[in-house]
Structure 1
Amino acid sequence: MPWPAHIVAKSSRLLDTETIGKFYGFYNSILNECFPSTRFTIMPQYVTVDMIGGTGAIEGRAITYVIEPLDFQSPIFFIDIKPPTHLLSLSARKNAEDQVRYRFWQLSHLVRIPKLYGVSAVGRQLSFYTYDRASRTVEPGPLAPIERWNTNIMEEVGRAKFLAVVEEIKQMVAIIEAVEVVEVEIEVP
């Protein structure tokens, strides 16, 4: 089953030479489809040049979308977006990966679910990362090979992989929500 028509239409208008800003609306639509506002908050987080320096540092501002459930405070997912032109540049991919790792570092003390997913989106191509709360490790390790961005979100396999991650996240959230309801019920005299 493909994405809804409005997402397909947005994708079809995006060229592989587009600037980063053109992809924000596309991913915002996908996130709103997967994480409805009745249960989740989608928060754009701005990253500036001062936050990540070095060769290939972020030019101007970049947006990372961080998702939180409405019922408790904890990041449950984030996606960092880069333009498709970054895919062929090793330094740009390294910078994209560094930004994902930096975001894990920023969010790690707030995480309440067992595994925090982060995605680096370069155009429509996705690279998936996880932060394990128990071991405090990020997988996969740092390298930034082009093959890591091997999932096209608009292809059925890529859509299915993305939605499987979303479903796993929702299950982790449901477990925490259920535990908190039980704790509240126990506290009531």
Structure 2
Amino acid sequence: MPWPAHIVAKSSRLLDTETIENKFYGLYNTILIECFPSTQFTITPQYATAGAQTGGPGAIDFAITYVIESLDLDSPVFFVEIKPPTHLPSLSARKDAENQIRTRFGQLAHLVRVPKLYGVSAIGRQLSYYTYERAGGTIEPVALADSTSSIVDTAPIERWNTNIMQEEGRARFLAVVEEIKQMVRNLWWTSSIMTAFMTSF
């Protein structure tokens, strides 16, 4: 089953030769709105990290924050970093894109309440998925060792192996969305039980 017609139309107007990343913001904003209902999630363009507020690396291109009402707490559950499609063939551009994802995990880790935070590097329509496990503090996939004496491809192009507009890529993205929603439901259920338990005394 393809994306709705308005998403397909937005994608069709974007060129693979585009060099400006914000041309793709509209496409991803529309997809995120489609997947994460406003009754449960807040989609925050340019979610400001501590680094951005103090003059450090800029804000995340799109971050989704889930408000857990019973705890009166905002928790990031997913974020997307967007780059133009012309960055995909460039070893250095892919390395920068992946390093940006890993940096974001570090900036968001103290805010995370779900067991696993997903981050996506979107280079045009091609996606590479990353996860931060809250319990162990680990990031997958594991970073490849760089070198100061030779050129090492630490962000292989094969990592961007799904196209979000193709059926396989859409299915994978929606599977991640459903996993995120299930984590949020579990967290809400646990917090509700704890609240009920505490108020029973």
TM-score (norm. length: structure 1): 0.90
* Paired letter, 1:155: Q
List runs of 5+ in structure 1 lacking aligned partners.
53-60
Q: What is the CA deviation profile of residues 69-121 of structure 1, one whole-angstrom value per residue up to 9, with x for unaligned ones? A: 12242110000000000001111000000110010000011111111100000
- Regions of 4+ moved over 4 Å: none
For the structure 1 residues 93 and 177, does the alpha-carbon distance in structure 2 shift closer, same or farther, using more than 3 Å as the test? same
List runs of 5+ in structure 2 lacking aligned partners.
144-153
* Paired letter, 2:5: A
Partner residue in 2 for 1:69: 66
Matched residues in 1 for 2:142 and 2:198: separation?
43
How is 1:18-37 mapped onto 2 (pairs within 5 angstroms)?
A: 18=18, 19-37=20-38
How is 1:1-189 mapped onto 2 (pairs within 5 angstroms)?
A: 1-18=1-18, 19-45=20-46, 51-52=56-57, 63-71=60-68, 72-142=73-143, 143-189=154-200
Partner residue in 2 for 1:58: none
Q: How many residues align?
A: 180
* Paired letter, 1:186: F
* Paired letter, 2:2: P
Q: CA deviation at 1:135?
A: 1.1
Structure with higher Rg: it is 2
Q: What is the RMSD of the two structures over their aligned residues, measured on CA atoms?
A: 1.5
* Paired letter, 2:137: R
Matched residues in 1 for 2:81 and 2:165: separation?
17
Percent of aligned pairs with the same residue?
65
Q: What is the CA deviation profile of residues 58-77 of structure 1, one whole-angstrom value per residue up to 9, with x for unaligned ones? A: xxx67521111122421100
Matched residues in 1 for 2:13 and 2:112: separation?
36
